[in-house]
Amino acid sequence: MHGSFDQFLVWLALSVSCAYAVSALGPRTWRCGLLRGGAHLAEFCGLRRLASRLADAAAAKGQRACGGCDGCRRG
Amino acid sequence: MNARPEFAAVPVVALVGNPNCGKTALFNLLTGSRQKVANYAGVTVERKEGSLSMPAGRQLRIVDLPGAYSLDPLTPDEQVTADVLLGRRAGETQPDFIVCVADATNLRQNLRLVFSLKRLGRPMVVALNMSDVARRKGIVIDSAKLALELGVPVVATVGVKPRGVDALIELLDRVAVPAAAAPCSQTAGWQKPSVAEIERDQSEVRRILAAVGADRIEGATFSDCIDAVVLHPLIGPAILAVVLFLVFQAVFAWAQLPMEAIKLAVAGFGNWLNASLPASLLKDLLINGVLAGVGSVLIFLPQIAILFFFILLLEESGYLPRAAFLLDRVMGSVGLSGRAFIPLLSSFACAIPGIMATRTIQSARDRLATIMIAPLMTCSARLPVYALIIGAFIPHRAVWGGLQLQGLVLFALYVAGVAAAMAVAFVLKRIGHGSRFQTLLLELPAYHWPNMRNLAIGLWQRVEIFLTRVGTIILALMVILWALSTYPAPPAGAAGPAIQYSIAGYLGRALAVLFAPIGFNWQISIALVPGLAAREVAVGALGTVYALSATGSDLSGALAPLIASSWSVPTALSLLAWYVFAPQCLSTLATVRRETNSWRYPLMMAGYLFAMAYAGSWLTYRVASAFTS
């Protein structure tokens, strides 16, 4: 595997993991900001459906504030 | 939750009823949701919402509300119901239509709520739920006559059968559910009923019961016969202890085979990755980061599934409220209300729903005490940590006539958590002067055979939650931990594993200064940090750290033998003691902050748990070292 491609894949995985960890565990304002930022980025890239889902998720995360036991994912 | 603009015109139908009358089962059938149902009161403490498509194509928003005996709330969960129905809840649309769910086997109590709801002046129907159980008991209710007496439509439903709500859907389709969410003048001026009104309602209930043929007083039922044994002051606690003990035995005895299968699959996948990928950073991330970390946690899926299978079985059968009854005296002696049992029991799954379930407790002091001790109940996230250490250090052999030693140790750890909780509750009682004993008033549901559909759904939900956590937050944290354990690269000519020169290596050695007195090495110290996000992450973190600490071969799926050879027995016991009291995960603290509306209590909780964990581990380490030296 080419060295720089290898580095790129590893850093991509790390960036996605960091973003997810902040979104899942960080303060509510961080989560909302991150998800809204993601929505803007998706819209900029022309991914309307993804942008809409991220915007919805940003709104839902802001309201839920459940603490994160994942029980709310049921149903 | 605020209504989204596109839902503003959709009529809202509220499911209201006494606790444990089957509202959530109906809600699940109507909306296709999979909310938790169980055979005891107080399972739903927050409003839940779903949508129902009527046969004619019309949409309805269905709201499931916590159980209530009246609109004059005594507990925080009843307050939610009253606020929603009276239009006092900020950002909440007042229901346009009410479905009053009444337990057909206990109409005497349920009709009082029907009268309260009628006074709201909202259009409503009565769903006579559990009508199949009532029929089996010989209770035949004339629905048409009941509808005439109450002045509202009445329909029979069976919340646990797939087609049990057809009649209700047909009725909702037939009666015109109003579309506009106009505030109701009667609810705006609603006042607590006077004593005279309550007495009038009660005599009206008696008259209606006689008119519809539901005033027969039942003799001793099958449940009463079982209760004569199960609730016996001496035999009852013994049965409870045996039941719980057997559950923990099964967790180890039954899980061996599936655990071995998962371990083999993880190791096989690791070997395949090792052979297929060229040497690269990505390969190292996949094998030593992702697979070693995630694989170490995934192995414990069978044990978690078995534990929840038994908990769900006990919930479904109706045995759990009996356990609350049996433990009321013990709980009362340490200053807890018997109502604390269900929240504390929920905390064995996860402290968060347990803390939220304290809303069913009337007294603010009792509620706070229950919140403060809820994290001491051994949540399912701690099970992988216990299972890993027990599997590595406790011999897999039978003692005392066939009992599994590993199961015994696991049972002892759960008992230690409960004992610690009782001790803390006792101290809180002594600190908070003026504590008074709260009488437990608890409805004991009838026993019934567990509904296999509910059991399967409940079990699948727990498995799904576990797998989701493994595939999301645990995976993400393992990737981050791998990066922290890999960068920066070791200097040229450095000896020993590269992790020692990484950020995680330096952090681990710094923390090890704090944890050395309780026997923790730098690898354990690193694992405790991501363990604050979710306790089971500590197992994955140990998997990653040890995989990176090793030289050469792939270690994914082989964590237990590795720690068995590199930790001393006192260290292992000390870590077990640490996790009995372990400072809870951040999500729990966030929930305590929300439920108490103050940072004071989560900070106090974190402080006292850390102190107890450190003291418990120090003592365990010292005593174990003295015995093994």
ipTM: 0.78
Q: Exposure string (b/e) for B279-307, b if CB count within 10 Å is 16 or more?
A: ebbbbbbbbbbbbbbbbbbbbbbbbbbbb
Model pLDDT for residues A12-62, shown as the tens digit of each residue: 999 999 988 887 777 777 778 888 888 898 899 888 888 888 888 777 654
Domain match, B475 and B569 both: yes
Mean pLDDT of chain B: 84
Which class for A49: exposed (0-12), middle (13-18), buried (19 or more C-beta within 10 A)?
Answer: exposed
Q: Hey, are the CB atoms on A17 and B476 less than 8 Å from each other? A: yes
Domain match, B191 and B231 both: no
CA B31 to chain A, closest CA, distance in angstroms equals 9
Among B33, B475, B587, select the one facing A68 at the smallest CB separation: B587
- Poorest-confidence range of A40-44, B232-236, B457-461? B457-461
Query: By C-alpha distance, which of B481, B487, B490, B476 is closest to B547?
Result: B481
Q: Could you tell me if residue B154 is inside a domain?
A: yes
Most confident of B33-47, B110-124, B332-346: B110-124
pTM: 0.73
Among A7, A17, A66, select the one facing B479 at the smallest CB separation: A17
Domain match, B131 and B234 both: no
Q: What's the confidence (pLDDT) of residue A72? A: 47
Question: What is the pLDDT confidence band of residue B518, given thresholds at 50, 70 and 90?
Answer: very high
Query: By C-alpha distance, which of B250, B251, B290 is closest to B269?
Result: B290
The residue type of B505 is: G
Domain match, B395 and B465 both: yes
Domain match, B259 and B119 both: no
Domain match, B212 and B322 both: no
Q: What's the confidence (pLDDT) of residue B194? A: 84
Q: Could you tell me if residue B3 is inside a domain?
A: no
Peptide bond into B183 cis (omega under 30): no
Contact B585, B534 (CB under 8 A): yes
CB contact, 8 Å: B358 with chain A?
A: no
Mean per-residue pLDDT, B69-76: 82
Range of the domain at B470: 221-629
Q: What is the DSSP string of B588-602?
A: HHHHHHHHHTSSHHH
H or E element: which one contains B102?
strand B97-103
Whichever domain contains B140, its CATH number is 3.40.50.300
User: Last residue of some domain: B218, B237, B268?
Assistant: B218
User: Last residue of some domain: B196, B218, B240?
Assistant: B218
3-state secondary structure string, B76-87?
HHHHHHHHHHCC
Cα distance from N-terminal residue to C-terminal residue, chain A? 43
Q: Hey, are the CB atoms on A73 and B588 less than 8 Å from each other? A: no
Q: Could you tell me if residue B5 is inside a domain?
A: no
Domain match, B202 and B300 both: no
Other beta carbons within 10 angstroms of residue B24's beta carbon come to: 24
How many domains in chain B?
Answer: 2
Domain match, B128 and B246 both: no
Domain match, B291 and B326 both: yes
Q: Hey, are the CB atoms on A74 and B480 less than 8 Å from each other? A: no
Model pLDDT for residues B530-584, shown as the tens digit of each residue: 887 777 888 888 888 888 776 544 444 478 888 888 899 999 999 999 999 987 6
Query: What part of B 260-279 touches A (C-beta under 8 Å)?
Result: 277-278
Q: Could you tell me if residue B148 is inside a domain?
A: yes
Percentage of chain B beyond pLDDT 70 is 90
Among A7, A21, A63, select the one facing B281 at the smallest CB separation: A7
- Order across the sheet with B12-17: list the strands: B48-53, B59-64, B12-17, B97-103, B124-129, B154-156
Give whole-number Cα distances, A58 to A71, B144, B190, B539, in Å: 18, 49, 37, 31
Residues of chain B in contact with residue A18, where contact means CB-CB under 8 angstroms, are 476, 480
Domain match, B126 and B251 both: no
Q: Hey, are the CB atoms on B473 and A1 less than 8 Å from each other? A: no
User: Last residue of some domain: B218, B242, B271?
Assistant: B218
Kindly identify which residue of chain A lies nearest to residue B31, measuring between CA atoms: A75
Kindly identify which residue of chain B lies nearest to residue A28, measuring between CA atoms: B590
Contact B25, B445 (CB under 8 A): no
Domain match, B200 and B337 both: no
Domain match, B489 and B608 both: yes
Model pLDDT for residues B615-626, shown as the tens digit of each residue: 999 999 999 999
CA A45 to chain B, closest CA, distance in angstroms equals 25
Kindly identify which residue of chain A lies nearest to residue B468, measuring between CA atoms: A70
Mean per-residue pLDDT, B161-181: 75
Q: Could you tell me if residue B4 is inside a domain?
A: no
Q: Could you tell me if residue B294 is inside a domain?
A: yes
CA B168 to chain A, closest CA, distance in angstroms equals 21
The tally of CA atoms less than 13 A away on the side-chain side of residue B326 is 20
Is the model's pLDDT at B2 over the cut of 70?
Answer: no
Q: Could you tell me if residue B1 is inside a domain?
A: no
Treating both helix axes as pointing N-terminal to C-terminal, what angle do B586-596 and B600-628 enclose, rounded to 10 degrees?
140
Q: What's the confidence (pLDDT) of residue B556? A: 45
Q: Can you say how many angstroms the Cα of residue B623 is from the centroid of all Cα atoms in its chain?
A: 35
Look at strands B97-103 and B124-129 and give their pairing: parallel
